[in-house]
Amino acid sequence: MGWWSETIMGGDTPLDIQSAIYNDLGIKYPYEDTPLLTRKNAFMKHIKQLPCLVAPHENIGAQVLGLIAMELGVPRDSDPIEEILQDAKHSAIYDEWALEDANGKRREYMITFVKAIDNYTGDPIQIESKELFEVMQEHLNAKNL
């Protein structure tokens, strides 16, 4: 299906990567049904293997992995979280879509993501994301104006 928004999780590829990560951790969809602490503990237990899972997807994989780590509130001093966050930051800075973005929306999301990484203290955070049905509703509402 592709991409429906400029956010990190706004497409099939990042959702597939997220699914692969959570499946590897033994967490089934819908992920929110599994308590945050349980997801965080599973992430921490397998943290060293996770970068290998996203390696085939490189840039977007690094962004998704960094995003999940921050949403779960993984401590910044956990090995190798700093490397994961720096990989996510690097991929956001050099995100091809953001660099070529005509309307600037992807660039704005990447700048916000980089700032979130720089300011991350280890407490769980939420990064803006647009669900497919949310975007569809926005388009339907715009047509009805």
Backbone CA torsion sign across 84, 11, 126, 21: negative
pLDDT-derived band at 79 (thresholds 50, 70, 90) equals confident
At residue 113, the pLDDT reads: 96
pLDDT-derived band at 143 (thresholds 50, 70, 90) equals confident
Question: For the CA atoms of the chain, what is the radius of gyration?
Answer: 15
* Total-model pTM: 0.87
Comparing 5 with 135, which gets the higher pLDDT? 5
pLDDT-derived band at 49 (thresholds 50, 70, 90) equals confident
| Residue percentage of the chain with pLDDT more than 70 | 89
Residue 91 has pLDDT above 80, yes or no: yes
Comparing 73 with 58, which gets the higher pLDDT? 73
Q: 65 is written with which tokens?
A: 């992995």
Bridge partners (DSSP) of residue 137 are none
Q: What is the mean pLDDT of the chain?
A: 87
pLDDT-derived band at 145 (thresholds 50, 70, 90) equals low
User: Can you give the length of the chain in residues?
Assistant: 145
| Residue percentage of the chain with pLDDT more than 90 | 52
Tokens 């047509």 label which residue? 143
Residue 129 has pLDDT above 80, yes or no: no
The domain locations on the chain are 12-143
pLDDT-derived band at 75 (thresholds 50, 70, 90) equals very high
